[in-house]
Amino acid sequence: MNWIDRTVFYHIYPLGLCGVQSHNDFNLPPVNRLDELHPWLEHMASMGINGLYIGPLFESVWHGYDTVDYYNIDRRLGTNQTFARFSARAHELGIKVVLDAVFNHVGRGFWAFRDVLEKRQASQFCGWFSGLQFDEDNSFHDGLSYESWAGHETLVKLNLKNEDVRSHLFGAVKQWIEEYQIDGLRLDAADVMDKDFLSTLAGFSKNLKEDFWLMGEVVHGDYKQWVQPGRLDSVTNYIAYKGLYSSFNDHNMFEIAYTLQQQFGADGKMRGLGLYSFADNHDVSRVASMLKNPAALLPLHVLMFSMPGIPSIYYGSEFGIRGRKEDQDAALRPALNLPNLLSHAERLDLYEALRKMIEIRKQHPSLINGAYRQLLLTNEQFAFSRDMENGLSLTVINAADHAVSIDVPLGDHHSRFIDQMEKSTAYETNNGHLYLEMPPYSAKWLI
């Protein structure tokens, strides 16, 4: 079994968590703010988390996704040595480290693009950028135009077919593996990247580290285009993300059930792909702000941790913090005080429940490799199992604002279950049926 199969991720956006100034002043010396995040590593380990997705980390102008130097840590976070210490401590705690790799585009301050702005057609780096035209103009009035990410001209699209660009980026990956012993990459904007580049990157990185993990940011489309042998190992499961919260808000469990059936059912297109599951991240509103009723937070997370996929928690969301995506993303990426959260967070009950969920997932192979099977579905109730030859796990959700009695048809399976969230509670089947009394907005995780 690969390390990723038993991994639960924690996602940190370091420029936000460290509370750095929004604009990088390249005249200032580095500040070792990453050293301040070591207690967060201890926090993760205490929860049982064994994977960290962190980034962007490298020198940039604003938000990290406008890279200017792939070989040096952003001075607002520290130096290469600062991150080497941080990564070493993570590994000491048994936490794998996955970096945010922004290879689709660079910032306008990237050294090769500055050379193009200065020398124009005479620059040896013209071939590094996609769609470069010197007979057009852009909003910066450079007297040239270029492809950008999603029309944002501050993000200049790299030509990933160019061998010199590939050599430069692969050299950075080699440095990251050698200096920081990283275990994988999350590839920003993978859904618009050259797929041959992704395949070549996979071959290069896995030659350096056999169990290196590559996960792509993909919103829409057929995930199998990206997740396949010789390319990526996983992608972000944005399709399920939406259903996780809106099924509770709309009292319509058919939405998430349809998605999971399409992805992981008997004829599911994504069976065995190991997709990356999340309830929120640095680009979308906090799930606590998305839910109409905060009582749904706990059953939502039980659902996410028990459905097929690799679960993750975005920093601070284990405490139920809020934040809505507006014109700017600052509300999604705040500086947080960990001791205050551990003492006074509004949803310490969620934090404690998540610690249990992580332990449960690690202890039961059915939650990792078990086949997905839908058992019951109404507007407000949903039950599914994860089946293996030697047993199964059962997830039952009540999304109603009132208590209900549920009859889960199990056929010849299992006669006795233990509630994993309340170990003192056991349930017996009766003629192939399991009868449960469910409080409002609740979940039972039975094995």
In terms of domains, do 150 and 173 share one?
Answer: no
In terms of domains, do 155 and 66 share one?
Answer: no
* Joined tokens for residue 424: 């003192």
Confidence grade of residue 103 (pLDDT, cut at 50, 70, 90): very high
Per the listing, tokens 């199998």 go with 224
pLDDT for residue 326 is more than 90: no
Tell me what percent of the residues of the chain surpass a pLDDT of 90.
Answer: 96
pLDDT tens string 367-397: 999 999 999 999 999 999 999 988 899 999 9
In terms of domains, do 236 and 277 share one?
Answer: yes
In terms of domains, do 63 and 52 share one?
Answer: yes
Predicted confidence at residue 111, as pLDDT, reads 98
pLDDT tens string 296-320: 999 999 999 999 999 999 999 999 9
Predicted confidence at residue 238, as pLDDT, reads 97
pLDDT for residue 144 is more than 80: yes
Asked if 381 and 406 count as a contact pair (C-beta separation under 8 A), the reply is yes
In terms of domains, do 289 and 213 share one?
Answer: yes
- Burial class of residue 120, CB neighbours in 10 A (0-12, 13-18, 19+): middle
Confidence grade of residue 43 (pLDDT, cut at 50, 70, 90): very high
Q: Which domain-ending residue is among 346, 367, 388?
A: 367
Q: Which domain-ending residue is among 367, 382, 411?
A: 367
- What is the bridge-based pairing of β-strands 416-418 and 426-428? antiparallel
136 or 326: which carries more pLDDT confidence?
A: 136
CATH code of the domain in which 141 resides: 3.90.400.10
Confidence grade of residue 414 (pLDDT, cut at 50, 70, 90): low
pLDDT for residue 164 is more than 90: yes
In terms of domains, do 76 and 136 share one?
Answer: no
Predicted confidence at residue 289, as pLDDT, reads 97
Predicted confidence at residue 223, as pLDDT, reads 97
Query: Which residue segment(s) compose the domain that 399 sits in?
Result: 369-446
pLDDT tens string 335-371: 999 999 999 999 999 999 999 999 999 999 999 999 9
Give the closest residue to 54 by CA, choosing from 31, 72, 37, 29. 37
In terms of domains, do 435 and 289 share one?
Answer: no
How many domains in the chain?
3
- Burial class of residue 178, CB neighbours in 10 A (0-12, 13-18, 19+): exposed
Q: Which domain-ending residue is among 93, 125, 159?
A: 159
In terms of domains, do 258 and 382 share one?
Answer: no
Give the closest residue to 155 by CA, choosing from 181, 124, 189. 189
What integer is the mean pLDDT of 27-41?
98
* Joined tokens for residue 230: 């010789």
For residue 281, the one-letter residue type is N
Looking at the DSSP assignment, which residues form a beta bridge with residue 418?
426
Report the C-alpha dihedral over residues 358, 363, 364, 368, rounded to 10 degrees: 50
